[in-house]
Structure 1
Amino acid sequence: MIKASVIIPTKNPGPVFKSVLDAVRMQDVGFDYEILVIDSGSRDGTVEYLRRLSDARLRLLEILPSEFGHGRTRNLGVARTTGEYAVLLTHDARPASNKWLANLVAVADSDPHIAGVFGRHVAYPNASPFTAAELTMHFAGFEAANVVQIDDRERYDRDEGYRQYLHFFSDNNALIRRSVWESIPYPDVDFAEDQMWAQKIIEAGYKKGYAKDAVVEHSHDYAWFERLQRSFDESYAFRRLFGYKLCSGPRAMLRSWCALTLRDLGYAQQHNLWRTNFRAVVGMPWDHLMRLLGHYLGARGDSLPNSLRTRLSRDKRMLLGLLNTGTRESK
């Protein structure tokens, strides 16, 4: 019986994908697992590479680019596999050890009421030191309790920060229980599908797990305009889907910019980054400015002209309405 089905959506992932897939195939586990790669139109040799591999656990499912949707494609992957757990990974999230999969499954196995588990991210070795530090701080916030659920409904209803903490979920590196997915599938949205799903399972009374030792290398150092685009997408989606306003106004943006910049200047001083990575230190305040400006604009996305929203969005698929269909699967 298949215990876990690892599902990896791809599109032009580049050289990193080979090391990601190698790491997945080399997992040290005491159970059977399968791997499904769903490719949506790669033209960088990814499909040809997959077809050359000889591994009975591995299957390739090809879909048209217009068929891709972050929630929809993951639902397709779960439907086309059979494991007790569906393990979701992005094509640039590389398991950091051969115990990654076993550690994810161990948390889920510890309690049948756990509907989903997400794992820790660390930065790639060549990432900006500020990116690495931010990831460390972010995931450290989940270490106090590795299994959570709504334990105070009144607080959940009134406290936005508590709600965000409980429904944070990242399917760059995650596991979902198939029996729960059958009644609560991913929402068919093009952004924040993972957190929307987590909100649904939390509000349905299930638990959510965090696997500190299920680590992947996954990070991005965006150019400044790319940072603005990414932040716009995040903020616009959170405003539409959850009602959150990630930046309430210009004064809040300025206060946040000052706080983040001073924090990271202190980090730079502590770690001698002025000497070892001067370029990252100089660029850091601008990166924060682009992030916060993206949050400010995204929170007001519905009031912007459609042409400007299109320009500001990094995830162009969010704005496409193509209707073509078709899939092709191979072993």
Structure 2
Amino acid sequence: MTTQVQQVLVTVVIPTKNGGPLLGRVLSSVFSQQTPWAFEVLVVDSGSTDETLSVVRKYPQIRVIQIKPTDFGHGKTRNLAVAAAKGEYIAMITQDALPSSPSWLVELIKPAMEDDRVAGVFGRHIAYPESSVFTKYELEQHFAGFSRYPVIELNDRQRYASDEGYRQLLYFFSDNNALLRRSVWERIPYPEVDFAEDQAWARRIVEAGYRKAYANDAAVYHSHEYGLWERLQRSFDESYALSRLFDYKQGRGLKHAIRSWMGLTRRDLVIAKRAGLLFSCPALLLKVPINNAMRITGSYLGIHGSSLPEFLRLRLSRDRRLMRIDNWSKWT
């Protein structure tokens, strides 16, 4: 860490729970950042039972806050961390988000330092090398779209009211790899919701007149290879939360779900063909339509989650506490 000045400019916040061996690599990469200013690292641990705390304590300069598992909430815990941070800016990553280069932190803060109206910055996600070709493709395509909008703000109220796609573009924010301006957070903290707290915060800041930025060169390795049931659960949680928080209405019907499944499956078969997997990995290809069926089924059930009985929502969810929340209005 380069520290030409003593005052901390950035606090890197990492929420942890059972981070496993990957956490050591994440911390090593964070402390290898080459910056012309001082930064600190703050870990908030919510009851790890593995080697997480021993890994963290290898770095005596890390400040650690320990909370009970029952006290954790995605928005609540991040607010706790920001309140304890010393930096003017807060970089948020997760325990499985590995900075890809020593310039990650400098690139992440750059848009905010260049424009005082930028309240938050999010960076690119790269699939881990061992990830499937499908995961790599999805991440590449998803973040490629944001390169056209390096800085964005709510500048068309009429379109905002009528265009759901425009709202989705404005709301997207991922605090797996993000930076917040502390002075804005003091006015607009994270909503204390248990899912999609980052996008809920982005909605607040753009509606308040601030800008949101995307830093393509501030990349982290961050990807998941879900099993079939995990894929359904993840899709359910995401769709249920986003539907409740933002009242997204597109794609609610069964016909749309079937068309989406067919489109995803065709896309994945094309990707497999380009990668030379059509004949070399038949088992993988057999999994493709099933995986997409689980994804679409989870999303469909999540969109209609409010009408499901609680016991079924709990069964379908990976983030089970979320399913007991009947009123999200407290975040507005």
Q: Give the CA deviation at 1:85.
A: 0.5
Q: Contact 1:235/1:246 (CA < 8 Å) preserved in 2?
A: no
Q: Contact 2:23/2:55 (CA < 8 Å) preserved in 1?
A: no
CA distance 1:234–1:245, shift in 2 (3 Å): farther
* Structure 1 alignment gaps of length 5 or more: 322-331
Distance 1:277 1:112 in 2: 51
1:214 maps to 2:203: no
Cα-to-partner distance string for 1:165-210 (whole Å, 9 max, x where unaligned)? 1110000000000000000000000001000000010111100000
TM-score (norm 2): 0.93
Aligned to 1:95: 99
Aligned to 2:329: none
Distance 1:184 1:297 in 2: 32
Q: Give the CA deviation at 1:248.
A: 1.0
* Structure 2 alignment gaps of length 5 or more: 1-6, 326-332
Q: After the TM superposition, list the runs of 4 or more consecutive aligned residues in structure 1 that deviate by more than 6 angstroms.
A: none
* Percent of residue pairs bearing the same amino acid type: 53
1:4 maps to 2:15: no
1:302 is paired with a residue of what secondary structure? helix
Distance 1:49 1:144 in 2: 39
Q: Give the CA deviation at 1:319.
A: 4.5
Aligned to 1:75: 79
Which of 299, 317, 322 is matched with 1:318 structurally? 322
Q: Which amino acid aligns with 1:303?
A: S
1:226 maps to 2:230: yes
TM-score (norm 1): 0.94
Distance 2:36 2:22 in 1: 27
Which of 306, 311, 316 is matched with 1:307 structurally? 311
Q: Contact 2:133/2:271 (CA < 8 Å) preserved in 1?
A: no
Q: How does 1:121-160 map to 2 (within 5 A)?
A: 121-160=125-164
Which of 255, 267, 284 is matched with 1:280 structurally? 284
Distance 1:262 1:250 in 2: 19
Q: Contact 1:169/1:194 (CA < 8 Å) preserved in 2?
A: yes
Q: Which amino acid aligns with 2:289?
A: P
Cα-to-partner distance string for 1:95-133 (whole Å, 9 max, x where unaligned)? 000100000011111100000000000101111110010
CA distance 1:121–1:245, shift in 2 (3 Å): same
Which of 62, 85, 88 is matched with 1:84 structurally? 88
1:20 maps to 2:14: no
Aligned to 2:42: 36
- The count of corresponding residues between Structure 1 and Structure 2 is 319
RMSD: 1.3
